[in-house]
Structure 1
């Protein structure tokens, strides 16, 4: 009996921690904890940037070290707790106590959490094997901690969803762009190789020019000098305008589709909420607003959705009318599609 009570308490604690860490649900101190966590992440990013100034780093060395120790301690505890409570995920995909947690540890956000603390422990346990350049790289890698803010940004969450949904299309676009870059490097090598052997003497050397030209950057450090090379360069530049814009167009279209899906999800929730509460009560509006923030739908779009639903509800609401001739009551239902009333005997 005592063991079952301990298990229930353990389960309850784990569930509460899951809600606090992953869904940010709980008392005021849960929100305060996440605010502190976000502040700590921002301070770490700022610290990595400003400590590159040697004079600043020397004057504030103790404060920077203290910030690093506090940050690593908090991030390590957070990483361990997130792995522990991952079995409480509602869908059940991490339900197994061992394999479920291992699957969680290879998710993108768990990998980011690990990389956020990894440089610190490498620097401690392998410091005798690392040079100053290696330590500088490890310190710079702490900028990865900034990606932890994606948990608190709906826009970043939307971007990750778009990249995940459009991954195959984006990969195809970059694959085609890579092939065209190689073809452009081959072409300029054939045309300009003899005249400028240092810049275009081989296909690998010509890849730099082909890349900056097709991406429309054009640094100008290497340029064709022969008439044939200039003509070929013009062709590649024009082709690069469309190819460089292709991935951006795919991502923009993905953003539009993702936003439409989220608006439709919000519309469905708002419709179910209005049916449940009968009208847009304060409680119903609070529920819809909470979902709106989670989905990242703007307030203007939400107001449009609610206005449309209210209009539909008004049009479909049955009305009782009395026949002026016989005095019998009928139910008139006005349909928006045909813009007329259908009379049904009460």
Structure 2
């Protein structure tokens, strides 16, 4: 009985049902924050308590069916399961601290318990580990370029816009938004030199975005190829 229940929670119908309930709960929690639905707060409260009861029972059943209970209790997902039901104390009014209710969103991590999703996460983790040296070098280069970009735009624009480009730390915000090609528009160059420099920074920023994407894609491709070879 315990073995069948454990298997069902990990790879069977209960695993699928749990994922569906988690997604439904997240959607419900999101809708609850919409002002137009504030008049239905009582209904949301009752549904929330039902979900909390279900997840509490699920947690107890997982402990009971786990082959190694201590290992489950102190595992990542065991801790996630525990944290996800703790807000029941606040919702039921035993402790009144609304800010802690954000812990309910920890249930979203339950989705990673899905076998296929979990495998993809491990594959992505392996990809990052494989290219960690390259990523560290990339981050170091980006930090240097951000600083030099801030110094450059400060040099060109400080005299023309002392209120916006008042210092290099202030210019770092411009460098960050420009490098990421976001460009909020709160800080922009008005001098010829500043505009030419900004064009150069934008080109470099576009090129930099492609580097980590290519590294990760290449690493994932290599790992997937190795997995296919192992299957054969």
TM-score, scaled to structure 2: 0.79
- Tell me the SS of whatever aligns to 1:166: helix
Change (3 A) 1:257 1:233: same
Q: Cα distance, 1:41 vs. partner?
A: 0.9
Q: Give 1:66 deviation, angstroms.
A: 2.4
Q: Which residue of 1 aligns with 2:173?
A: 208
- The answer on 1:188 being equivalent to 2:153 is yes
Give the alignment of 1:1-346 within 5 angstroms.
Answer: 13=2, 15-24=3-12, 31=13, 33-59=14-40, 61-82=41-62, 88=67, 98=70, 100-101=71-72, 104-105=74-75, 107=76, 109-121=77-89, 124=93, 126-127=95-96, 130=97, 135=98, 138-139=100-101, 142-152=104-114, 154-155=116-117, 157-167=119-129, 168-169=132-133, 171-172=135-136, 173-267=138-232
Write out per-residue CA displacement over residues 72-113 of structure 1, whole angstroms, 9 at most, x where no aligned residue: 233234345545655x4xxxxxx6x75x456x43x3x34443
Change (3 A) 1:111 1:207: farther
- Distance, in Å, in 2 between the alignment partners of 1:21 and 1:111 is 16
Change (3 A) 1:111 1:225: farther
Q: CA deviation at 1:240?
A: 0.7
- Aligned-pair Cα RMSD in Å: 3.0
Taking the aligned partners of 1:38 and 1:119, their CA distance within structure 2 comes to: 19
Unaligned runs of 5+ in 1: 1-11, 25-30, 89-94, 268-346
Provide runs of 4+ in structure 1 moved above 4 Å. 80-86, 122-126, 137-141
Cα 1:164–1:114 change in 2 (3 A) is farther
Contact 1:174 1:247 in 2 (8 A): no
Q: Is the 8 A contact 1:192 1:229 kept in 2?
A: yes
Mapped partners of 2:90, 2:186: distance in 1: 40
Distance in 2 between the 1:169 and 1:226 partners? 39
Whole-Å separation in 2 of the counterparts to 1:199 and 1:112? 45
Check conservation: 1:215, 1:240, Cα contact below 8 A. Answer: yes
Query: For each residue in 1:218-272, what CA deviation from the matched residue of structure 2 results, as whole angstroms up to 9, or x when unmatched?
Result: 23332111222222212211111122222222222232123223322332xxxxx
Q: Name whichever structure is richer in helix by fraction.
A: 2
The 8 Å contact of residues 79 and 113 in structure 1, kept in 2 or not, is answered as: yes
Gaps of 5+ in 2: none
Pick the structure with greater CA Rg. Answer: 1
